[in-house]
Chains A and B, each alone.
Chain A
Amino acid sequence: GNSVTQMEGPVTLSEEAFLTINCTYTATGYPSLFWYVQYPGEGLQLLLKATKADDKGSNKGFEATYRKETTSFHLEKGSVQVSDSAVYFCAHDNAGNMLTFGGGTRLMVKP
């Protein structure tokens, strides 16, 4: 079936540290892949996306590369800030009009 697996949190980092949040997926065909971010008390916002193999999505210093051979879409940022503290969700749209989300990873960045 269709599923998205991401690393459990919380991930706690110091400011300016390097961030990786792992995401792998199972799907039939070639889905588009997404990272959404949820700040406290708010709904989710699209952070970045990639629509085909080897595409790199990027936004606000975050990057993720669509790796078809490893069915992965890991999120990275070279230097995190306190304002990046949030919950991050990986997702794909292989199920037609439905997005399948991972369980979310909470990131906490300490000054």
Chain B
Amino acid sequence: NAGVTQTPKFQVLKTGQSMTLQCAQDMNHEYMSWYRQDPGMGLRLIHYSVGAGITDQGEVPNGYNVSRSTTEDFPLRLLSAAPSQTSVYFCASSYSGTASPLHFGNGTRLTVT
């Protein structure tokens, strides 16, 4: 009963490097989303998906790309990392959007130097 699995747990990047944060869920949830958590600012939505092949932008999408080729996976790509992207990133899934409880992964702590 894995739920939502995020990898890696920690990552350090240099400015300009690219990387992909992985997210997988085994609950057959249609809705998946990525948030970033910054001190005092709560969680802000980066991108979300309401099903395989469908993605949309959230509140803070710049500098990030997503794709949803399968129901299970929703990777988040940083194209050219910047110090402003230092944050904790959470992936979440739910059965039917925000009306259903969101199930969160344990987060990825990213530092960009």
| A contact residues vs B (CB 8 Å cutoff) | 4, 8, 32, 36, 41-46, 49, 51, 89, 93, 96-99, 101-104
Contacts and interface: CB of A to CB of B under 8 A. Distances in A.
Closest 8 CB pairs of A and B: A43-B104, A101-B42, A93-B98, A46-B101, A101-B43, A103-B42, A44-B104, A98-B45
Nearest to B57: A98
B107 interface: yes
Interface of B: 4, 31, 35, 40-45, 48, 50, 56, 58-59, 90, 92, 97-99, 101-102, 104-107
Contacts of B44: 101
B106 A97 contact: no
B102 A46 contact: yes
Given A97-B97, A98-B98, A99-B45, A43 B105 contact: yes
